[in-house]
Chain A
Amino acid sequence: MMENAILVSHLGKSFGEVKAVRDISFSVTRGEIFGLVGPDGAGKTTIMRMLAGVLQPDEGEIDLDGLDMLKDAENAKLHLSYMPQRFGLYEDLTVSENIFFYGELFSVPRAERISRSRELLEAAGLLPFGKRLAGQLSGGMKQKLGLVCALIHTPRVLLLDEPTTGVDPVSRRDFWAILYNLRESGVTIVLSTAYMDEAERCSRLALLHEGKIRHCDTPSRLKESMPGALISIFSGNPRKTREVVSNQPGVLGVLLMGDRIHVRVDDAATRIPELEKLVSGQGEFEIRIAEPGIEDVFVALLDEREEA
C-alpha cells in the first residue's frame, strides 16, 4: 500500500454566485507528479491556492502529509511549497538576496541554505547570476529563480501552478529535469498545466472541466479508456478534409492538428476504407491508425460527457 501525501475530499469553493470548483476529491501518492489538466477557467488555480492554504475552501477537507491544512495551516505550510503562475520575486533584490529572504521565512539553517541554494542554482543554470538583480533576469530565468526560492526549504510537497507558461523551451527542459530529480528524492509534486505535452510527463492526471474532475488516471490508462479508435489523415488541405469527414457515420470527433487531422471513430477496421474512399478525391493523402495523445483523450472524454 502506497502512502498518500495529499488527500483531498469534497473540496468546493464559490466566488459570489460562481461555483469555481465543486466536489473535488483526489489523492496523491508520495513521490508522484500529479497533473491538473484543463482549459483556462476550469478551476486549476483555485484548487492550487486552496492546497497552498492561501484560499479558504467553502467545503471539504485537505490532508497534507497527515496534517489538516484547514486547521493546522501553519505546520502544514512548513512542508509545503507553492509556486503561482508568476512567482513573486523582489525585483530590487539580487538573486541571492531573494533566496536568502525566502530561506529565512521558512527558518532554513544557514549552512543548509548555502549548500542547497548552490545546488539548486547550479541545476537551474543560474549560478553565475547570484549578484544580479532579479528584475534584470529574463522571463524563463525569473521562473527558475522562483522555483529555487520555492525549493530552498526542501518541501515535502511542491505545488506548481502552470509553471512553464511563457517559458522558453530550454528553460522548460531545465525545469523538468529539476522536477524529475525532486521526484527521485521523494518530493510529491502537484502541477497544473494547459499544455498537453507537459501533461504526458505526469505520473497521474486529473482532467478538469468547469470546476469538476471528469477523469483521473495515469496518462496511458486514460488513453486506453478513450472510447473508439483514432485515425490520423495527412493531406494537402487538412481543413477541407475535416469538412468532408466530419458528418460521416461512425465519426465521433475530428481534431485539426497542423498538417493533419485526428479522426476518432467507433471502429477502425470498418471506417478506414470508408474514409479512404471519401478523401481520395482530394489529391495525395495518407491514412493510418494513430496513438492518441492526451489532447485527443481530453476532447473525446468531454464529448462523451456531453452526449451522455
Chain B
Amino acid sequence: MKPDSSRNRIIPVLTILIAIVAVWYVAAYFMNAPFQRDLDRRANVTSTTMEFIGKTMAQPKPILPAPHQVVSNVFENTFLRSVTSNRSLVYHSWVTLSSTVVGFTMGTLTGILIAVGIVHLKALDRSLMPWIIASQTVPILAVAPMVIVVLGAINITGLLPKALISTYLSFFPVAVGMVKGLRSPELIQLDLMRTYYASGAQTFWKLRVPASIPFLFTSMKVAIAASLVGAIVGELPTGAVAGIGSKLLAGAYYSQTIDIWAALIAGSVLAALLVTIVGIIAKIVDRSMGGRPA
C-alpha cells in the first residue's frame, strides 16, 4: 500500500462531505423560510436578512433541520446522557445493534447451511433456489408486521422477532454468495482431489470451504447492512419502546424532526461501523490465508 493512499482517499471524501453540508444548509433555509416568515408576520417582527437566516436554522421543529442542529442533538444524546436513559442514542443504538447481531448471526448460519445443501444436493438446487429468490421479492415492510404480530400471539416478543426479520434479510446474500463460493474451485483443483481419492468431506473441508471464504466475507458485508435495516424495520410496526426504529417512529409522531435526523445519523454510523468491522475481520482472515497484500 502506498503511504499517501489514505490521504488520497480522505480528500475526495471530505470534498463531497463539504458539498453535501453546503447543499443541506441552503436547502434548510428554503424549506424552513416560509414557516419562519409566517411566524414573523404573526408576531409582527421584522428582522434583517442575517437574523432571518439564523432563525430558519434554529426552529425547534423545522421541516429540514440544519446540520448543526442535528449534530448538536446527536452529540447531546450520545455523550451527555447516561447510556441507560431513554433519550440516549447509545441506548437505542445498543437495542438495535443487539437484534441486528443476533439476526445477522442466524442469517449467516442459515445462508451457509442452505448453500451447502444446494451445492451438494441436486434436488435442493432445483427446488430451493427459486423460493429463495422469491422470498426477497416480498416487500419486507409488509412481512415485518405479520411476523411480529404472529410471534407476539404465541408470546414471542422482544429481541427475537426483530432478529428474525434481520435473519430473513441477511440469509439471502450469504446463501447466494456461498453457493458461488463453494462452487468456485476450478476443475483442475477438483481433479487434483480426485487423483488423491479424497472423500467428499475432505474435498469439502480442504478445498470448497477455504475457496469460499472471500465470497463469504463479501456477502457478509451486504448481509450485516441488510440486518440493520431489518432490525430497524422490525422496530417500526411494534410500537417498540426502544431502538433506532422506535426513535424514528416517535420522532415522526411528535414532529421531532431533529430527533428523526439524529436517529438516522445514529443508524448510519452504526451501519458504517458494522460494515467496517466485517471488513477488518475479512482482511485479517485474508492475511492469515496467505492473501497478497493489496
Query: Do A and B bind?
Result: no
Q: Which residues of B contact A (CB under 8 A)?
A: none
